[in-house]
């Protein structure tokens, strides 16, 4: 089955891509063979969009899709949403902002549930982005859950990370410098038609002027009104410039962490809690946990 799926995937078949993502997302038997036979892919840029809830990330993503389509790109979007507490599926409220793109031949949109992951990403996001690369998209936009300072995992995945803020953030910007403030390659001050946007942008610039990372990487600040498409061309140009001057990251830390997880999972595949409970029950009154685990 995976051979036919991979062949269709390499042809850019979006139906095959959707099925492949479902196989990987739900870890259906055989998904590992599919992943193992994906060739090395290059030339696809991953754009991470993050920021606090209500900053307008989905509206900005929608505007960027239009901008990339105009320059002739094929675009894939992974929208990582909060998980339903009942089904663990994605809560799709924000996706209505992108409904004009669902049938566009150059656009692929997939919502993923965070499934409790604290880094703002889906636990299988590395594998899913590899599938999108195999389908030969030019740009992959990953929009993450807005969960505050813990949402820094995106920097390990993305080739360029955009942090979206709004003028109302005010003094909250002071608390961001150890989290979101440190991961941004580009800052977007969205909804800049609101009062205080100029002062907020100036304060943000002042903080960046004292940042060692800013002096090294020249972080841009772009003001937008995404709902009105204002500032989107400047943002697109900033993204293109960054990707031109900063080759794709090796992502060594992210890949090493993922390799550790996969190796541990493979070694533990024949173990489960019930098997361990049964084995412990047979140990009797002299049971010692530390001696017990040495047999595995």
Residue 79 β-bridge partners = 111, 143
Residues 225 and 126 in one domain: yes
Based on the domain organization, do 166 and 59 belong to the same domain? yes
214 in the same domain as 92: yes
54 in Cβ contact with 175 (< 8 Å): no
Cα 267 to Cα 28, 150, 260, 261, 276: the distances in Å are 18, 29, 11, 10, 15
pLDDT value at residue 139? 95
CB 275 within 8 A of CB 228: no
The length of the chain is 296
Are residues 72 and 182 located together in one domain of the fold?
yes
How many angstroms separate the CA atoms of 80 and 244, rounded? 27
Listed residue (115, 116, 78) closest to 98, CA to CA: 78
Same domain, 144 and 166: yes
Q: pLDDT (tens digit, 9 = 90+) per residue, 29-40? A: 888 889 988 876
Taking a C-beta distance cutoff of 8 angstroms, is the pair 25, 126 a contact?
no
Alpha helices per DSSP H over 28-119: 31-36, 57-70
Whether residue 7 is found in the same domain as residue 112? no
Same domain as 155, residue 62: yes
Residue 261's pLDDT is what?
75
Q: What is the pLDDT of residue 211?
A: 67
CATH code (residue 64): 3.40.50.300
For 213-240, the DSSP string reads HHHHH--EEEE-BGGGTBTHHHHHHHHH
pLDDT score recorded for residue 47 = 94
CB count within 10 Å of CB 53 equals: 11
Mean pLDDT by 10 residues, the chain (296 residues): 85 91 89 85 85 87 94 92 47 60 90 58 82 92 67 74 84 56 86 90 82 64 95 96 78 74 80 88 86 85
Q: Do 91 and 131 belong to one domain? A: yes
Q: Give the model's pLDDT for residue 91.
A: 46
What's 45's DSSP letter?
Answer: E
pLDDT digits (tens, 9 = 90+) for 79-111: 886 544 434 444 444 555 677 887 899 999 998
Q: Do both 115 and 28 map to the same domain?
A: no
Residues 222 and 120 in one domain: yes
CA atoms within 13 A on the CB side of 154: 36
Task: With beta carbons less than 8 A apart as the criterion, state whether 37 and 2 touch.
Answer: yes
Residue span of the structural domain in which 46 resides:
40-249
Rounded-to-integer distance, Cα 20 and Cα 132, Å: 10
Which 8-state DSSP code applies to residue 294? T
What number of CA atoms fall less than 13 Å from residue 165's CA on the CB side? 29
Residue 20 and residue 9 in contact, taking contact as beta carbons nearer than 8 Å:
yes
Same domain, 29 and 173: no
Residue in 51, 60, 21 with CA at minimum distance from that of residue 154 = 51
Q: How many domains does the chain have?
A: 3
Neighbouring residues of 94: CB distance < 8 A, sequence distance ≥ 6: 57, 58, 79, 81
287 in the same domain as 276: yes
Element (H, E) at 244: helix 232-245
pTM of the model: 0.81
A 10 A CB-CB count for 188 gives 29
Q: What tokens does 92 get?
A: 């799709």
Rounded-to-integer distance, Cα 58 and Cα 90, Å: 15
């Amino acid at each position: 089955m995976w051979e036919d799926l991979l062949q269709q995937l390499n042809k850019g078949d979006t139906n095959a891509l959707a099925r492949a993502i479902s196989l990987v997302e739900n870890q259906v038997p055989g998904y590992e063979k599919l992943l193992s036979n994906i060739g090395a892919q290059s030339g696809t840029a991953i754009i991470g969009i993050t920021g606090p809830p209500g900053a307008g990330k989905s509206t900005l993503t929608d505007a960027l899709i239009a901008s990339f389509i105009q320059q002739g790109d094929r675009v894939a979007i992974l929208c990582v949403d909060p998980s339903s507490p009942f089904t663990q599926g994605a809560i799709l409220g924000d996706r209505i902002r992108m409904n004009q793109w669902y049938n566009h031949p150059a656009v692929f949109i997939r919502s993923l549930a965070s499934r409790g992951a604290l880094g703002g990403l889906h636990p299988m996001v590395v594998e899913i982005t590899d599938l999108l690369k195999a389908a030969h998209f030019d740009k992959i936009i990953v929009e993450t859950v807005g969960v505050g300072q813990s949402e820094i995992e995106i920097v390990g995945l993305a080739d360029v990370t955009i942090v979206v803020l709004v003028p109302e953030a005010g003094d909250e910007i002071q608390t961001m410098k150890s989290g979101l403030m440190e991961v941004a390659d580009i800052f977007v001050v969205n909804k800049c038609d609101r009062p205080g946007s100029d002062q907020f942008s100036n304060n943000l610039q002042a903080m960046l002027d004292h940042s060692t990372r800013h002096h090294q990487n020249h972080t841009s600040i772009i003001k937008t009104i995404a709902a009105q498409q204002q500032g989107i061309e400047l943002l697109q140009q900033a993204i293109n410039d960054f990707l031109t001057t900063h080759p794709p990251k090796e992502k060594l830390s992210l890949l090493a962490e993922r390799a550790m997880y996969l190796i541990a999972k493979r070694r533990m595949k024949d173990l489960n809690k019930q098997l361990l409970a049964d084995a412990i029950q047979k140990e009797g009154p002299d049971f010692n946990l530390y001696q017990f685990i040495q047999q595995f």
